[in-house]
A and B are shown apart, each in its own frame.
Chain A
């Protein structure tokens, strides 16, 4: 009987204060929407960074003055290096040819060259497996240790920058997340406080006829939790709808090849909902602490 009584009371209160609760739910869902969008972008970008790793292309540039037998030895050494799948020779002549093709109309600019400025190179395909970028980095270092190799380039400068940005973004997300959580908490606390204030005479009467604190609070906790849950579920629903509409409209295939956008995993969605319910309960707790001080 008790739970039904509390639930009925909570629903009555929600209905009686529907504008207030509606505003609170909208604000809370906006907050969770912001957090969710951030998480979604973050998850996809980091996935984008890992998903293509099972085939990393690396250009290994050689020093000048090497001869054909040297090329063979270097190729063997590269192919023996851990995680290397294949290595194919690109002579400086081929490289120039490729450049000429890619420059198309401006190819004339290259006519003036008296000498080929490009180095001989190997085009290497690395499959890092579970090693991730760390594995690629190690492979590159090994290859650079082979005599005759000048440098191995796989876009590390860009990657380094990205990973720095990513860790900055992670920290910013944490800070923003905590801030948003505090905001959601204070909104719930203030809403419940207003409802408490509206019902303070009734609460006083309930105390006088022998209601325990638990009895009086239960329905408010339920309200807070329902409010949090609604906020969370609305945010999730909006996020899902916007995500799937956007992704369906994007020419992913052309842009990113095999990569597919992913929605926030189910586990994290549930975690977010639990968090939103917890925020509701905690906000309620805060407003009671305040109420009893008065």
Chain B
């Protein structure tokens, strides 16, 4: 545990951001963001396009480096994480990418199995787990299909299955309902609620007002890289 930066001793927070800023050249994408995410919380991150939602998630799944400040993830300071540890930390984080990021040359089945293969799981386990997940996201009939042949909703379901198949502690979803009709969107949100119910911490970045209506979850609003509101 890093003792230098925490301003409050919040033991139950799984993700902690301290004065986090991210700049792309002169462009500030995030400015002085402070945020604690509780263990097993389901949190929405919202705000207009360009507010910095994706950037924040990218910092969390270590696809980009922080310009200023510190992020603690499960007690680990990301700025001081040895490069060798990086893949192992990433296995604890499931990500649903805005553009799905499915591998076009691999089947639906292989796209999901990859996460387990990467972690060195044995073949029987992979088969069992992936088949189970394909049933969960109702895609078992498309196991051998390639991503290009799927609809947006189907691709998103595969992306969610891949994000949760390693049983991660943390699931980050970037606009998971972005281009989907209401029905497909509900399927996706139910899947994310399911993994949350099983103990994962879930962060969903979205500007989809429909998702935010009538939710009891905490909503953090970003605007031009700053947190302007957070509440339920």
Determine whether the beta carbon of A202 is less than 8 Å from that of B105: yes
A6-31 toward B: CB 8 Å interface, digit per residue (1/0)?
Answer: 00000000001000000000000000
A101 within 8 A of B: no
Chain B residues with CB below 8 A from A215, complex form:
87, 118
A202-232 toward B: CB 8 Å interface, digit per residue (1/0)?
Answer: 1001111111110100000000000000000
Chain A proximity of B85: nearest CB distance (Å): 10
Indicate which residue in B63, B103, B118 contacts A210 across the interface (CB closer than 8 Å): B118
Which of B66-74, B119-127, B138-146, B211-219 participates in binding chain A? B119-127
Q: A202-B105, A205-B101 are in contact. Are A210 and B123 (CB under 8 A)?
A: no
Closest to A214 in B: B87
Determine whether the beta carbon of A207 is less than 8 Å from that of B117: no
User: Which residues A121-136 have CB closer than 8 A to chain B?
Assistant: none
A291 within 8 A of B: no
B14 within 8 A of A: no
A209 to B166, CA, bound (A): 9
B129 within 8 A of A: no
Chain A proximity of B30: nearest CB distance (Å): 20
Number of interface residues of A (CB under 8 A): 16
A233 to B122, CA, bound (A): 34
B88-131 toward A: CB 8 Å interface, digit per residue (1/0)?
Answer: 11110001010001010110000000110111101100000000
A226 to B114, CA, bound (A): 24
Determine whether the beta carbon of A5 is less than 8 Å from that of B117: yes
Determine whether the beta carbon of B101 is less than 8 Å from that of A2: no
Chain A residues with CB below 8 A from B119, complex form:
210
Chain B residues with CB below 8 A from A202, complex form:
103, 105-106
A213 to B120, CA, bound (A): 13
> B residues engaging A (CB < 8 A)?
61, 63, 87-91, 95, 97, 101, 103, 105-106, 114-115, 117-120, 122-123, 162, 166
